[in-house]
Structures are given as structure tokens and as C-alpha cells.
Chains A and B, each alone.
Chain A
């Protein structure tokens, strides 16, 4: 059994209690607790160092499904992968999926996750119709936009702090086939990205771009634009490749500017003439899931992800600034992701997505150098009136958090007094770091 850790490889320090039955009471523990799904959050939002993690993996049962409406009720520890495996062949798909299918429904709600179709569908929480919340006082409340609406809004994007989501009901959408018509369009810089993005958002359900995080100058933000729609005809599923697993931590030296540069060049070259293809949904939505535990290529010291959203109204300068700082640092690894968020409001008090453009990429965690870069980037985001994504964060300052999440005090009021995370203690701390 692997140790409990976040995706960035921060190890859980403290107790862990597996949960098995949705009608069981919460375990009696000393101190604070926090639900833990599959640990696909990068930083410390899914950790409660010194407290107890409630492992939801055993809460993995489907409860009911209505073919007519697409409403699926399931326990909070069911993963999107399990939903896909069962329901995609029947012609149903989760309305919002992130870049990995190994996330739980509870985790997807708590971070109010977004997908490549944010411009059309909004966030995951927008498709959650009801959920049951189990609080540390033993009470259970069924919450929806109509019943306990305040608690519902606090739980969607609520970072696991309002209680345990024992089960939830989601609306799945109908799909005509398990295949995606996937088109790749190379572009030369950030301006070209925005043009392509604006055009594609009207014609394509899914849009996202991979960019070369080392390119600079005229080439700043050059990359490959991906866009796709569900293919109409019911194509048969092809042979599924078994994922390979990274069997152990790779030494730090494997990842350096040279390998990253080589990777970016190779990636661009391989995908350049791709044009339009018909592919199964897996490689389109979850390219990284083809390599299980790929986070081990960063070695024991792990990785940090930087993800921000920058509002449109400040123009392109902000995005250029952020991309330029990253390219200058030369620390970014492999590919960066660029995606525009649409205007659909998120139902959560603390949801991250908001109209603008989001930039996300991984960095190997290499001490002070990496921290200095993150501080610089945070400054740029703050200046632009943007936000950082708690699901990916490890270092955001309380000042940044307050600016980006003005409704945090409302969540604090509705928080379960026994539920706490390391992230929450950090970003709500009174004093600023030096």
C-alpha cells in the first residue's frame, strides 16, 4: 500500500481512517479531520497534517441511475474513471471531466473542478443536483440548490471543509459515441492562441492548448491547440492499452532544461501534422493516465503545479508576463496548459474558475529556487486581479488568498468546526510570511 500523499508527493503526517459504509457515523478521532479522495490534488488542500484523514476509497458504490434523465447517484468515493467505465458504453458521460479520471466525485465537488468544456458547461458543481453532507456533530443534511442552498454553495468548491460528502447525485450527459473528433492546430504565439480560442469556443465543445514553456520573444506561448467534439457515429471501442507504471522514483538528474527542451521539441514535432483524428475519449481527455503514477518521474522531492486564472479585462499583458517569467526561469517541466474559461457562473462560494484565461504547469520541487519563482508569479497574478487554484497550490500567501477568494469568511462560518486542512490553516493565518 503506497503511503498517503498528495499528487505533489507531500506525505500525510497523522492518522488515516478508511471509511467503508455511507450510513456509518464518522470515526471518533482526536483533533481535526479532513476527507481524502484519491489525492489528485497537488499540494496541501487534501492534507490535514497532525489531524486525521478520512479515506473515502471504500465509499465507492453506485446507488441509482435514471436513463431518462441521466441522473446518477453514487457514493463520494466513486471515481470518474469508474463512472466512465460503466456509463460511457451506455452512452452517458460526466458533464465535466478533469485531466485525469482518477478523481473521486467528492474530490471533484470539493474543488469544483473544470474541464476542457468550461466555456460550454461551467464547472463540475453546476451538474451536481444533490448531495448528502455528514457533519462532525453526527447530523446528515441533503443539500441542493433548493435544500440548504447555503451549505450546498459552501460545499461545492468548499475544499472538504464543510463535512463529508457521503453521496451525491450528478447529471450525466448523453454522448453519441465513445469517440472524439480531435483536431490539432499549431500556433505561433499567445496572440494566435487567443484568436484560435475565441473562434474554436463557438465551434467546439472541448478546447485546450499545450504550449512550449521555454519559447520566448516572438515565439512566446507557441504551441498546439486541441479542439474536439463527440463523434456522431457509434464507433466501436478499439483495443485499450494497459497503462504503464513508473515503478520507482527517478533520480532528480533526469529532469533538466535539456530534457524538457528535447521533450517539447519532440512533442511539437510528433503532433504537428496531426490535423483531424478520430480517437477514443481516453487519450483525448486523459493523456497522462496512460502512465500511472507519472509523478514519480520527479523523484522523491516531488513537484509543484502552478495554476492561475487571469481575467480577460486586463488584456493579454498579464498572460505574457506570466509566461515570460516562467520561460525566463527555465524551471518549467514539459508542457504548459492554456485554456480560456467561459462566463458561466460557478455554483460554489470558493470556486476557482472565472472568466479569463488559465495557465497551468508543473515544476520539479527544488527548494528556494522554485519558491522564489512561485512568489514572483503570485505577485504577477495578484497585480492582474487573478486567482490561484487551491487544488494545485502549496505556497499561496494569505494575502493572495483573501484577494482572490473574497467570500472565504462565509465558508469559514459554514465550515464544520472539526474539519480543517493544512491549506486552510495556511491561507487563513493572520500573519504574513516574511
Chain B
């Protein structure tokens, strides 16, 4: 199996990569920091990966995406799985003074992933095989004051993935949208931990299982599906007063 991991130094992506390495996959890791990519790559090789290639790349640069998809095939051969995991949380407190910061969050979490998905989807669909795994978030299920740009981006990304799923369904291309709840990662390092937090290992195991089973949407841990069902059901009139 040939696997491309975009945002490979993110904690969830790294754990997903470990599970594929243990199955003997060949991997291409893409991320921003060469030193960290090298550390992850060495680990994956020792965990049983058939091959690990790394590319240090600024994934916000849309112009590089088509070439990256082509390069992935040239390096690995036909790609079976693409994990789109790059992301950034942003800080709503900074947006008022710097509206571009809000737009940058949309770019990193929606525009760039959408461009990457498009580039890879076309290639995978031509072969009529493979899976795209998109890391969304439960934050994308409802707009909230505490992270409106991030939430909007993740919500948009989920819609985008849904559209891709619909468009390519007949070709055999599979698209999995993952909606993790709170995960204990560097992104949430500043958030006090509570029992709702899940470990990246647990989330990764669920993602791999869901991708194997070719599911459409995965809430992880599972209870978030019900929490979000309730959250979405709250009328706007009430919700806006809740200060979430």
C-alpha cells in the first residue's frame, strides 16, 4: 500500500502513519519542518514501513500542489491513500486587529486542503481506486464564537469532501471525512485537559479502521456524533446566547 501523509508531523497523522508502517506500507511524508520529518521517517522505517520518503514543503503554497501529486506517484507508484492532516487553530483574539489572520486560517484549513484534495482526487479517480482521508473537526459542525474561522474552515472542508465523495463515487474513489473531538495534541497544548480528551493513538486507530471499512464520515471518539446532534439541534436564538 502506498500512502501519502500531508501534515505528517501532526500528532494524529503521525499515529496513522505508524499503523500503516506496521503493515509494511510505503509512505511519503510531507510537512514543513525537515528535522521533524526526518525524526518521524526514521521511526516509521523502524516500525516496518517498506519505504519512507520525505518532502519538506509549505503546503499553504497552492502552486506546488499539482507537482506534489505527480511527484508522489513518481516516488511511490500508484497512491492508495492520501491523508490530509495539516491544519492550524488560529487565535480569534488577534483577528480584529489583523483580519488577514482570520483569512489565513481559512487558507490553511480549507483552501490549501481543498486544492490538495483536488490534485490527488483526479489521479486516484482515474485509476478508480484509493481513499482520501480528510481531517475535519467537530468544530466544523456549528459556528462558535470561540473559534469561528477554524470552525468555518473545517465546516467548509467537510462540505468539500462531501462533494468530492458525491462526484467520484462511481469511479470507486473513497473519501472519508474524520471529525475528531478534543484530542491531546500540540494544537490543544494550552487547553486544560478533561475526560472528553482522546489520545492521538486512539483517534488514529479509529481512522484506520474507518478507512479500511470505506466509511463516509467518522466522529471520533464515537460519542461526539451524539453530542453534535444535540449541539446542532439547539435553535440559533438560544445558541448565540450560550457563549461557547
Chain A residues with a Cβ under 8 A of chain B: 1-2, 16-18, 20-23, 58, 61-65, 86
Q: A1-B193, A1-B195 are in contact. Are A61 and B184 (CB under 8 A)?
A: no
Q: Check A20 against B42 for contact (C-beta < 8 Å).
A: no
Q: Check A65 against B195 for contact (C-beta < 8 Å).
A: no
Residues of B with C-beta under 8 A to A21: 36, 39
Residues of A with C-beta under 8 A to B46: 62-65, 86
Residues of A with C-beta under 8 A to B184: 1, 18
Q: Check B199 against A1 for contact (C-beta < 8 Å).
A: yes
State the CA gap A61–B36 with chains docked (Å): 11
Q: A1-B193, A17-B189, A18-B184 are in contact. Are A62 and B43 (CB under 8 A)?
A: yes
A55 and chain B: residue at smallest CB distance: B184
A-B CB pair tally, cutoff 8 Å = 42
Bitwise, B15-44 to A at CB < 8 A (1) or not (0) is 000000010000000000001100110110
Q: How many residues of B contact A (CB 8 A)?
A: 21
Closest 6 CB pairs of A and B: A61-B43, A1-B197, A62-B46, A62-B43, A1-B193, A20-B186
State the CA gap A64–B38 with chains docked (Å): 12
State the CA gap A21–B9 with chains docked (Å): 10
B33 and chain A: residue at smallest CB distance: A21
B103 at the A interface (CB under 8 A): no
Q: Check A64 against B199 for contact (C-beta < 8 Å).
A: no
Task: List 11 additional contacts besides A1-B194, A1-B199, A16-B193; criterion CB under 8 Å.
Answer: A1-B184, A1-B195, A1-B198, A18-B184, A20-B186, A22-B39, A23-B39, A61-B40, A61-B43, A63-B43, A65-B46
> Nearest-CB distance from A167 to chain B (Å)?
10
Q: A1-B194, A1-B195, A20-B11 are in contact. Are A63 and B47 (CB under 8 A)?
A: no
Residues of B with C-beta under 8 A to A65: 46
Q: Check A62 against B47 for contact (C-beta < 8 Å).
A: yes
Residues of A with C-beta under 8 A to B189: 17-18
Q: Check B42 against A61 for contact (C-beta < 8 Å).
A: yes
Q: A1-B199, A23-B35, A58-B11 are in contact. Are A63 and B42 (CB under 8 A)?
A: yes
Residues of B with C-beta under 8 A to A2: 195
A-B contact pairs, 6 of them (CB 8 A): A1-B195, A20-B11, A21-B36, A23-B39, A62-B43, A86-B48
Residues of A with C-beta under 8 A to B42: 61-64
> Nearest-CB distance from A52 to chain B (Å)?
13
B198 and chain A: residue at smallest CB distance: A1
Q: A1-B195, A86-B47, A86-B48 are in contact. Are A61 and B39 (CB under 8 A)?
A: yes
Residues of B with C-beta under 8 A to A62: 42-43, 46-47
A2 and chain B: residue at smallest CB distance: B195
State the CA gap A65–B47 with chains docked (Å): 11
Residues of B with C-beta under 8 A to A20: 11, 186
Residues of B with C-beta under 8 A to A1: 184, 193-199
Bitwise, B200-211 to A at CB < 8 A (1) or not (0) is 000000000000
> Nearest-CB distance from A226 to chain B (Å)?
31
Residues of A with C-beta under 8 A to B198: 1
> Nearest-CB distance from A321 to chain B (Å)?
45
> Nearest-CB distance from B119 to chain A (Å)?
29
State the CA gap A18–B184 with chains docked (Å): 9
State the CA gap A270–B120 with chains docked (Å): 59
Contacts of B31-76 to chain A: CB distance below 8 A:
35-36, 39-40, 42-43, 46-48
State the CA gap A65–B39 with chains docked (Å): 14
> Nearest-CB distance from B161 to chain A (Å)?
27
State the CA gap A62–B199 with chains docked (Å): 19
> Nearest-CB distance from A203 to chain B (Å)?
35
State the CA gap A16–B47 with chains docked (Å): 29
Residues of A with C-beta under 8 A to B36: 21
State the CA gap A17–B193 with chains docked (Å): 11
State the CA gap A16–B184 with chains docked (Å): 12
State the CA gap A17–B191 with chains docked (Å): 11
A17 and chain B: residue at smallest CB distance: B189
State the CA gap A58–B196 with chains docked (Å): 19
State the CA gap A22–B42 with chains docked (Å): 13
State the CA gap A340–B11 with chains docked (Å): 43
State the CA gap A241–B239 with chains docked (Å): 46
State the CA gap A22–B43 with chains docked (Å): 13
> Nearest-CB distance from B173 to chain A (Å)?
32
State the CA gap A1–B198 with chains docked (Å): 6
Residues of A with C-beta under 8 A to B196: 1
State the CA gap A1–B193 with chains docked (Å): 7
Which of B40, B46, B186, B198 neighbours the largest number of chain A CB atoms within 10 Å of its CB? Answer: B46
State the CA gap A134–B85 with chains docked (Å): 30
Bitwise, B92-123 to A at CB < 8 A (1) or not (0) is 00000000000000000000000000000000
B14 and chain A: residue at smallest CB distance: A61
State the CA gap A23–B46 with chains docked (Å): 19
Residues of A with C-beta under 8 A to B40: 61
Residues of B with C-beta under 8 A to A22: 39
State the CA gap A429–B43 with chains docked (Å): 43
B186 and chain A: residue at smallest CB distance: A20
> Nearest-CB distance from B199 to chain A (Å)?
7
Residues of A with C-beta under 8 A to B43: 61-63
Residues of B with C-beta under 8 A to A18: 184, 186, 189
> Nearest-CB distance from A298 to chain B (Å)?
20
Residues of A with C-beta under 8 A to B197: 1
Residues of B with C-beta under 8 A to A63: 39, 42-43, 46
State the CA gap A86–B42 with chains docked (Å): 14
State the CA gap A23–B47 with chains docked (Å): 21
State the CA gap A400–B206 with chains docked (Å): 49
> Nearest-CB distance from B24 to chain A (Å)?
13
Which of A1, A62, A63 neighbours the largest number of chain B CB atoms within 10 Å of its CB? Answer: A1
> Nearest-CB distance from B182 to chain A (Å)?
8
State the CA gap A62–B194 with chains docked (Å): 29
State the CA gap A383–B170 with chains docked (Å): 80
B188 and chain A: residue at smallest CB distance: A18
State the CA gap A263–B194 with chains docked (Å): 36
State the CA gap A166–B210 with chains docked (Å): 34
State the CA gap A1–B22 with chains docked (Å): 25
